[in-house]
Amino acid sequence: MIFKNLTKKFYKNFFFIFIIFLLDRISKLYIIYLSNKFNTSELYNSKFLNISLTWNEGIAFGLLSFNRNDLYNYVTLIILAVIFVVFVIMIKSNSFKRIFLLMIFAGAICNFYDRIFYKAVPDFIDFHVGEFHWFTFNVADIFISVGVICMILFELIYNKQSDNEKF
């Protein structure tokens, strides 16, 4: 009975989330495998890009990293609450921004999975120019960042069009 009520939109959304999860898992598992195989976290270095495994115990881009388990657990619960809020907003959304929310949700689920199973998130993509390094990130972070940027742009453009229609 419950399967009859699932819509085509649900399957598309689930498939989209699953693909992002799969891309993230494969990339992280491969980097962890290479790091263990060669017994180093420095896997590739070039002029602008390094592939270097680091374990992020904090939240986005290593913020709020600490060694206390109780604080780690509180932050994990807060992240779970944020994921739930994004999920509720995503479910209620019928507009184009659902795609951006799906990207944010999928990326957050990927990193949450790592927090539960590894107690840290493996980050490995390190862009840099000379000695200036951007934050080290992973595939899930890319989807979260692109989703957030697109949501901001969508809201700015949509609100501007709505304001113009009022006058």
The whole-model pTM stands at 0.85
Total number of domains constituting the chain: 1
pLDDT along the chain (167 residues), means of 10: 66 95 98 96 94 83 58 84 94 87 97 93 93 90 96 86 57
Indicate which residue of 24, 114, 123, 126 is catalytic: 123
Under 8 Å between Cβ of 112 and 140: no
Under 8 Å between Cβ of 136 and 124: yes
Residues forming beta bridges with residue 121, ordered by sequence position? 56
Domain that holds residue 76: 3-166
The pLDDT assigned to 70 comes to 72
The pLDDT assigned to 165 comes to 58
Q: What residues have CB less than 8 Å from 31, skipping those under 6 apart?
A: 43, 51, 53, 122, 124
141 is known as an active-site residue:
yes
The pLDDT assigned to 76 comes to 84
Torsion angle, alpha carbons of 127, 133, 137, 143, to 10: -60
The pLDDT assigned to 1 comes to 43
Indicate which residue of 24, 114, 126, 141 is catalytic: 141
123 is known as an active-site residue:
yes
Other C-beta atoms within 10 Å of 53: how many?
20
